[in-house]
Structure 1
Amino acid sequence: MSVMHQVKDRIMKVLGAVIIFLFAAMTVIGTYQIITRYFFNRPSTISEELLTYSFTWMSLFASAYVFGKRDHMRIGFLADKITGTAKRYLEFAIEMLAFAFAGVVMVYGGSSITKLTMMQTTASLQIPMGYVYAAVPVTGILIMMFCLVNAVDMLHTDFSVKEEEA
């Protein structure tokens, strides 16, 4: 296994653990929110914000995780019909388009919005909104890294037979 794949596997394990932690924390915080709202008639605004921001980070990290596993949604009507070198280059181009999208929209755009919102604070937690929006460029960097690894793999994959036949 190459160093590139070892680094990717390590990041995938850490990312998976973070996603599990955030999901577990959301479960506990959500339960607390329900108890304070319905049993004590005093809903906690802090827990509501924590749930919202945890969900944001978890969702974005989960999307990066799916890119790392190469299980993301794609329309395969063309890719499933071709084989060989054409399929290799098509799969490579798809990874590069995802790389470009993550770079321009998520990293560049996400960094811009993060910088713009660093002076704003959240209502209950009083943390900079930029910390919440930082999930976007962080996820973009992860997706870009996974796209590069996937693209290199595409160049070294044998697409000489269709997947149904293999």
Structure 2
Amino acid sequence: MSNTRKVLDRVILGACVALFMFMTVIGTYQISSRYIFKSPSTVSEELISYSFAWMAMLAASYIFGKRDHMRMVFFIDRLTHKAQGLLGVFSEAAIFLFSLGVLVRGGSSITTLTMTQTTPALRISMGYIYAVLPICGVIICMYSLLNIKDILEHLKEEK
């Protein structure tokens, strides 16, 4: 496994774990403030929502990098090994283009557009919330290139 993939995996997994721990602490605070102190917190609800969105996108990027996402293996298993490799390269290239266009380009546009809009309770820019889209787009593009490299190396070894 390449060094780049190892570092990327650790950083993303660490961020997901930190976000999950943060959400647990904030959720406990929210429940305590609502039921014990009878003073619900609106800030904690927003923090949990936005943290969950970031964690979900980062986790999806991580799963993509591990190639543990759902696949239609009943179709792919019927192909020859070389055809499986070529189909893998094609699908990785399609995902790369999608991520580049939708997540990176589109995410950058929405991030720029929402920089002046603020969240109701936290009063931070919505652009920071939407920044997860281009960030995860770049991560998925990197993983896609690493996956293509791995598939091509695996095909070369088979010859």
TM-score > 0.5, shorter chain as reference: yes
Query: Structure 1: which 5+ residue stretches go unaligned?
Result: 161-166
Report the secondary structure of 2:65's partner residue.
helix
Selected match of 2:98 from 89, 101, 118: 101
User: 1:81 deviation in Å?
Assistant: 1.2
Q: Which amino acid aligns with 1:49?
A: E
Is the counterpart of residue 44 in structure 1 residue 41 in structure 2?
yes
1:91 paired residue among 73, 88, 92? 88
Structure 2 residue aligned with 1:11, among 8, 17, 20? 8
Which aligned segments of 4 or more residues in structure 1 are displaced greater than 6 angstroms? none
Higher normalized helix content (fraction of residues): 2
**In 1, distance between residues paired with 2:140 and 2:130?**
16
Partner Cα distance (1:134, 1:105) in 2: 13
How big is the shift at 1:93?
Answer: 0.5
Equivalent position of 2:72 in the other structure: 75
| RCO higher in structure (CA 8 A, sep ≥6) | 1
Q: Where do residues 24-63 of structure 1 align in structure 2 (5 Å cutoff)?
A: 24-63=21-60
Structure 1 residue 74: deviation in Å?
A: 2.1
The alignment yields a C-alpha RMSD, in angstroms, of: 1.4
Q: Tell me the number of residue pairs that the alignment of Structure 1 and Structure 2 aligns.
A: 157
In 2, Cα distance between equivalents of 1:75 and 1:104: 25
Give the aligned residue type for 2:30. Answer: Q
Instruction: Return the offset for 1:83.
Output: 1.9
Residue ranges of structure 2 left out of the alignment (5+ in a row): none
TM-score (norm 1): 0.90
Letter in 1 for 2:9: M
TM-score of the aligned structures, taking structure 2 as reference length: 0.94
